Amino acid sequence: MARFQIHKVTALPSPLEAHAIYLVTSGTDYVEIYVTGASASTVRRHINEADVQSLIDAAVGGLGAMDIVDDIAARDALDLSENAIVLVLDASADATISSGAATYAYRASPDLWVKISEAESMDLALTWASLSGKPSSAVAEIDDAVAKKHSHANKTQLDKIDEVDGQLTYAGSAVSTDWATIGW
């Protein structure tokens, strides 16, 4: 069984020993760790905080990036080896775009472009005639019904009806709902 040695040093020595762990402290807030194998020439350095940050920066560096090209031909000419988002300023060569820009997602495997938005819908102006699933009533009929929602031909008389102490009143006077009998 091989024995290993642990060395605390301020700089990695040369030559290295086989089966050794080197803890290198060079005045920083962390320790770098190097490990040798059966041969002193086989050495691995364990990653440190700066290495981790560098890996993170490299991985996320391009995530927020979006390629911007002039037209569909320029989009198709891009040499992409991984997934990407591309804004095409004039996407009119796309049969689904009348005019303006569109944004596409590129999927590297399989080689595929997917439209995810289009700028022409930003300037969308709808008309009643172009709506689907609309009521069968005409716009004027709907506007008239809304205006009349609390309109009655006898509104003046209806507004005089009220209730006082549980009794029906009309124009402030009690309304009799029973036969009034006068004895003689």
Are the CB atoms for 63 and 85 separated by under 8 Å? no
What is residue 66's predicted lDDT score, i.e. its pLDDT? 83
User: Mean pLDDT per 10-residue run, the chain (184 residues)?
Assistant: 84 90 81 85 78 80 78 91 88 89 87 86 75 89 86 86 89 78 66
What is residue 101's predicted lDDT score, i.e. its pLDDT? 92
What is residue 115's predicted lDDT score, i.e. its pLDDT? 92
Which tokens in the block code for residue 1? 């069984």
Q: Residue ranges per domain, the chain? A: 5-58, 67-123, 126-176
Q: Which residues pair with 6 in a beta bridge?
A: 21
What is residue 67's predicted lDDT score, i.e. its pLDDT? 87
What is residue 43's predicted lDDT score, i.e. its pLDDT? 81
Burial class (CB in 10 A: 0-12, 13-18, 19+), 154: exposed
Global confidence as pTM: 0.39
